[in-house]
Amino acid sequence: MTKGILIPIGGSEDRFENEYHGIDHIQESILAHVVRESGGSDQKIIIIPTASSIPEEVGEMYLNAFGKLNCTNLHVLNIQNRSQSESEETLSLVRDCRCIMFSGGDQSKIVNFIGGTPLHELMNQKLREEDQFVLAGTSAGAMCMSYEMIAGGSATEALIKGNVSMKKGMGFVPELIIDSHFVIRGRFGRLAEAVAAFPHLMGLGLSEDTGVIIRNGIEFRVIGSGMVILFDPSGLTHNNFQILSEGVPMSLSNMVTHILANGDRFRLDDRKISVLPLSEQMI
């Protein structure tokens, strides 16, 4: 069983950039959750902006955001080739950290530069063995956590076979296929196609400024201001994906869909959903 904590985030989480935010708001933000789950603001946090096309700027942005949460032990690890993921300098920096934060961008860069390297194995080891180690990622940094990973795909041609490209991801949570910016970019169709191709997996669609805290690899709690959409294909009675040619519309029957919000919980092992009582919701 995984001891560490995973926090996939749907992208565009509040980083306190545009206007003044009171301390109460900041302390309820997704990044504040990341810090708390890591053990507090004095813990070592490593920011990996590998997925970004502007990694230096993105690294600085997260230094500023975590700095507003009073974090002082911050490091940017800008990995741009596989040799960096194999170096003792990199591994030494990561061994005693309590949190790794992957930025958004292109999830394939994370897999290409880190997947299958000693750094990847070290991350897996820390997840297996350290109960207060947090591996967080936003947008591409969340999507790479899947084993069957969405690498790209058209939202405008949704539910047409062949419009979603898949590749092997980092496999931190292999039971899920994760998509980000889910609602605002209309990605219902591409996650549905991905789940149709791998119906033994659940689909997790994350809205912006929304994430889930995953404990023990199976216990999920929703955080943030938006929605989480879950696709459960375990009861499918019809799925024509495997017999279709590319470019042909798909049909799926009885795929269960859940829409969850802040505080709601679910489990991967028994697919049980627990919705926060109305009296406890922020209205």
Q: What is the rounded CA–CA span in Å between residue 65 and residue 80?
A: 23
Residue 165 annotated in active site = no
Is residue 208 part of the annotated active site? The answer reads: no
Contact present, 46 and 78 (Cβ < 8 Å): no
Catalytic member of 157, 165, 175, 219:
157
Q: Is 139 a catalytic residue?
A: yes
Q: Report how far Cα 108 is from the mean position of its chain's Cα atoms.
A: 14
Find out whether 139 and 104 touch, Cβ atoms under 8 Å.
Answer: yes
Output b/e per residue, 163-186; b: 16+ Cβ within 10 A. Answer: bbebeebbbbbeebbbbbbbbeee
Catalytic residue among 52, 103, 108, 139: 139
Decide: 156 and 190 in contact? Cβ < 8 Å.
no
Element (DSSP H or E) covering residue 92:
helix 88-95
Token representation of residue 197: 């191709």
Catalytic residue chosen out of the listed positions 181, 193, 207, 208 = 181
Instruction: Supply the residues annotated as catalytic.
Output: 139, 157, 181
